[in-house]
Amino acid sequence: MLYGQAQLAQRTVLLHEVPMTDADDDGLAVWKRIELALRDEIARGVLPAGARVPTEAQLAARFNVNRHTIRRAVESLSRAGLVRVEQGRGSFVAEDLIDYTVGSRTRFSEWIRRHNMEPSGKTTDLRQIPADAVTAAGLGVALGDPVVLMERLGFADDKPVSLGRHHFSALRFPGLLAHLHAGEGISAALAACGLADYRRLSTKVTARLPHAREAQLLLIPKSQPLLVTENINVDAAGRVVEFGLGHYPTPRVQIVFEP
């Protein structure tokens, strides 16, 4: 049954003022009335994105109903994508997803600005390391060869949306580490080392639970999955420039592949 804005507003006011029972009221089930009340609070920002929804016990006491009725209302909100339920932690207001579109020249700042958000970043690790088996295979270098690792935490409007680990051959790009330490961005630092341009060759996507440090940096629970991308960027001649790993929190980012 559909209702006009005035009728919905009137019902919402009544939901806040009148205790409920589990009986249907004028044709609208009580759990549905509770769902409408919570929808209204989400829309008005009373329950902002990422906020914890009150517990079943709290909502049952507020609306004077049993927990089964509350559970049905929250499940309906979850199916509608307005609430996400985390096992053992409770329910949370879903955050707006931003699309990460994989293209031949994916750049973080451009990606965030396309969503009318302000990009920023923080370097969380920058050093030279020996290539392990995965990095060596990705870069096409020998096991143990020196590799420049740069880890960056990316923000959209001050909310962490990505954790990227960028790997470069220190033998191919001598001086790269110094340029990065000087605060130059990756593209500018590579240009200073003689590389004018590079493009995305391939992207593989998997999902897993975050490690403790990843969860801490991205401000997500350890029970919340990450989307993990394995990226290879190459120069105009097809030589590998970068092997990268991107980590994206599933409540905030979805990955989109387009031709």
CATH of the domain at 14: 1.10.10.10
Of 31, 65, 93, at which residue does a domain stop?
93
- The domain containing residue 50 runs over which residues? 5-93
Burial class (CB in 10 A: 0-12, 13-18, 19+), 118: exposed
Same domain, 232 and 209: yes
By CB neighbour count within 10 A (0-12 exposed, 13-18 middle, 19+ buried), where does 162 fall? Answer: buried
- Which H or E element spans position 238? none
Per-residue pLDDT band at 24 (split at 50, 70, 90): low
pLDDT of residue 12: 40
Neighbour tally for 2: CB within 10 Å: 5
Last residue of a domain, one of 93, 124, 153: 93
Q: pLDDT digit string (tens) for 166-216?
A: 999 999 999 999 999 999 999 999 999 999 999 999 999 999 999 999 999
139 and 200 co-located in one domain: yes
The predicted structure's pLDDT at residue 176:
97
How many domains, the chain?
A: 2
Q: Which of 93, 113, 143 is the last residue of a domain?
A: 93
* pLDDT above 70 coverage of the chain, percent: 89
